[in-house]
Structure 1
Amino acid sequence: MSFKKFSFTKQIMKNIELLGYQQPTKIQDQAIGPILKGRDVLGLAHTGTGKTAAFMLPIIEGLATKNRNGVPKALILSPTRELAEQTGNCAKSLTRQLSINTTIVYGGAKRHSQVSKLQRGSDIVVACPGRLLDLLNTREIDLSEIELLVLDEADQMLDQGFLPDVKRIVKRLPETTQNLVFSATMPHDVKELCGGLLNNPVQISLNHSQPLDTISHTLLNVERMAKNEVLKSLLNQDEMESVIIFTRTKHKARSLAHKLSKSGFKATSLQGNMSQNQRDFALNGFRRGHFKILVATDIAARGIDIATISHVVNFDMPGSLEAYTHRTGRTGRANQCGQAITLVTDDDSKMVEMLNQKLASKLSHESPPQYTVGNHERLTALPAESEEGKQRSMTTKDNAPKLSRKKRGKRSSQRNRAVAFDFGI
């Protein structure tokens, strides 16, 4: 199986090779053909499965073989600025030497710069709904010639309240537009949107409701007051190379990153109260390894596509199975192995039960590593398990991540100690 079967133009094939793509992923193999044929598509797949290239390659192939006049022909809607940037950068990489122009549009950045790029001519527009509507209302963007619309991460877009904006944008597009919807989960509002938007779509479902097979899942039962110390013990393990920690609120993300940086960890936060420059600095620093730890909220972390993330730690339990899937999907990407660790307190029993049902043998229950309170070492024990729970733990023991009980040593402390930034304070 190779990209040759799609008969892409010569330059597109060169660009594919330059990016190191050797063969199509499952979503690419199933989606590219129908998109090239002009079919509407509903793609249900996790992030990190190659879905961006699955829709971008046929878009570029279509543009490369037709005359262009500088008026946008393809529109991709993204729920976050980070995802819009990454999608736009993917388009730019795949359009090398093709004279196909891409403009990225989102709030929090200079409007004048975006408008200037549109005025110079754009073939592909990647946008967040809010800023795009602003430009539509002031007639600074022309969508009258859009031939293809992509709703990327549709579930998260609707979860953030963008449904009214999306509907307004769709009404401004030609009725003949080819529509593609990609989503990691399929809640009711996404089904409803697809029913009114897609015309006899090709449906592609790659086990979207289950977390990726490349991720191991562990629950650590801890006392609420011990979560900070347990987290530090986890982060001192050598295998914790690049970690995203999830919290429920923006305030906690900022506060926890600040505490970790004061403890000598190279940590920063990513949350909604930061300016675009601060967000870019934090995310680029994490991507380049300047920061080893990124503390984030669910919304802020959407669109993060970094293949080297080794661990996801749920400092706070997510509120739903869909949120758990999205969070843990930050690791184990591009067929890399990843580990998801969730700190569990007595208040989380309902979600623990749901995770047990969903993940079954993929989920292990373990005791947390040794940690220090004052001058005393402590080890939080698991509560008594049922026979079924014991059997599940025994079944998954071999697949569970090793959680060493090593105390933080002097060398580890020196390695992690660095100037860390906590934006938003």
Structure 2
Amino acid sequence: MIVQTPVYFDRTEEFVSSDSVTLDTLQSVVAYRYIARYAPELSAPFVEADFAFRRKTLSGQKTQRPRWKGCVNRVTNAFPGLVGKYYAFMRSDDAKIRLAQEMVTQIQDSFREDLKRLNWLDEPTREAALDKLGSVTKHIGHSTLEETFPFQLRSDASFVENLQVVSNYELDRDIARIGNSINRDEWVTTGAVVNAFYVPRANRIVLPDGILQSPFFAQDRHFVRNFGSIGSIIGHELTHGFDSSGRHYAGDGNLRDWWSNVTSNEFLKRSEGLVTQYNSYEVLSQTGSGKRLGYTNGKITLRENIADNGGVKIAFAAYQKYTTDQETQDDSSSMSQAERNLSVNVADKLFFISFAQSFCSKRSDASIINGLASNAHTIEQWRVNGVASNSHEFANVFSCPADSALNPKIKHQLW
């Protein structure tokens, strides 16, 4: 059993033991947690109360999403494999999957070369890191496993009652798996999701069909745009295997320390540099008021910042190698003539522009404030600029003046 946040139990015990916490309060907390789980699927008063607190107050969302979106979300959560197969039938194809697989291999190769060059790794740790990288498995597209559903949904039952049937089945299934070997072919998500993942306990990256679309990926555009967007994401997920948490897992997915003391200490020292850097970014309101809402938190975002910086670095190196190995134009007849004729310098710039475009966003003040306190990812503006300021390649491509905001003298990088 892996308990990722043991402090939660310590604080829960303190809360329950406090003289200021009455039995009525505890009962209210338990009742709220149970009701909140199903509130979006209950009658209008529950839906409206849930939206007012969790969406409007905490995130600044102004209007409720259409009910059909909630239904799609619930069905996807209940039957991820089936929905993934249907999405793939409608939107995916073998050529797209093959291109994505090729990019994963290219970026994995780029990471391998990076590990060979890093001078802060001693040889035993380097060999272990290379072994782990070589052991990474990939889930690309969607699950092809056959599924069975040993339960029955009833048309005369309420929507929530049917959701509880599914939830109870999943709980019983998970309990029955305790003590058994892991099915490493099983997907952790549906193929119909716009996201990507790294699973440390399986040493696997997951690239679902849902993210293999614009603006992240397309077959009919200059390859540099794919390297800048989905390539950086692939690099990000691979780097998660070597971040402040993923580094504690070995190539077989088991918790095992494969670091020498010297290299581990160097990792921690370099990590502190990233923490300090990402503690310094001021975050302003996006409403145009210029109001300061706080600062980014380099500690709670460390894992993602390590992955962001490493991902862009190895994706850019993979793009450069691909450019050297191939003609600097895509074979697709759908590509515009303007993209075919890109100069190397313009293409290099387009890599970073494509990376940045993936993070275009607009947030309410409430969403920003909540994210600064709890989100493991740095807010989008500083995810992009933080990576750019650590990149020698970015500074060279855009001719950034020395010691400028995006080309500081000290650059923080692990991988």
More strand per residue: 1 or 2?
Answer: 1
TM-score scaled by length of structure 1:
0.26
How high is the TM-score relative to the length of structure 2? 0.26
